[in-house]
Amino acid sequence: MELLKKRILEDGVVLNGNILKVDSFLNHQMDVALFNEFGKEFKRRFSDTKVTKILTIEASGIGIATIVAQHFDNVPVVFAKKVDDSKLGNNVYQSYVHSFTKNKDYFVRVSKDFVNEGDQILIIDDFLANGCAAKGLIDIVRQANANPIGVGIVIEKGFQPGREVIENLDVKVESLAIIDRFENNQVYFK
């Protein structure tokens, strides 16, 4: 998606040679008009399958997913919780996720009330790196006997194994911008 690539080149900052900071439009301040373009593009790429629900993960996925859902007949958006929420009780699907960016392990949890057998679920997230977050979400969808119809990613770090991890689980991946490499703090796309 050329508009997104242009924005990354204009506003993205490479940190420590391996992290892309896009706080001015994606992860802190959010460009809603741009998110709307993400929605149009995801709808085009996932038009062949019916979607009944969108699943994402807190925090950055939430804003993106809510705008994207408007392009999928306003289906409900569910976000997996990373923070322990005692109000969820035991009525949860959960999966263990390792975060390489934060170098810690955590559970992601979704109430059993909101992912149901037979749901056709599109997973949306901001970044795909090693695929751990998306893999955890797919695990939750499958625990519920729902169908993960695909993973829609805004920015994929194509030099990390995330895509392979997800495709090995037989789930389609669509990314709006795929980064080939960072070199001298510059971003190069595939």
Q: Which of 27, 36, 94, 147 binds ligand 5GP (CB under 6 A)?
A: 27
Q: Is 79 in the site for ligand 5GP (CB under 6 A)?
A: no
Distance CA 54, CA 51 (A): 8
With binding defined as CB under 6 A, does residue 19 bind ligand 5GP?
yes
Residue count of the chain: 190
Contacts of 118 (CB under 8 A, 6+ apart): 52, 145, 146, 147
Site string for ligand 5GP, 93-132 (x = CB under 6 A): -------xx-----------------------xxxxxxxx
Nearer to ligand 5GP, 133 or 141 (CB): 133
Q: Amino acid identity of 87? A: K
Token pair, residue 114, equals: 């909101």
Q: What tokens were used for 171?
A: 């789930």
Q: Reduce the DSSP state of residue 129 to 3 states and report it.
A: coil
68 binds ligand 5GP (CB under 6 A): no
Q: Which member of 34, 46, 60, 67 binds ligand 5GP (CB under 6 A)?
A: 60
Residue numbers of the site for ligand 5GP (CB under 6 A)?
A: 19-22, 27, 60, 100-101, 125-133, 157, 162
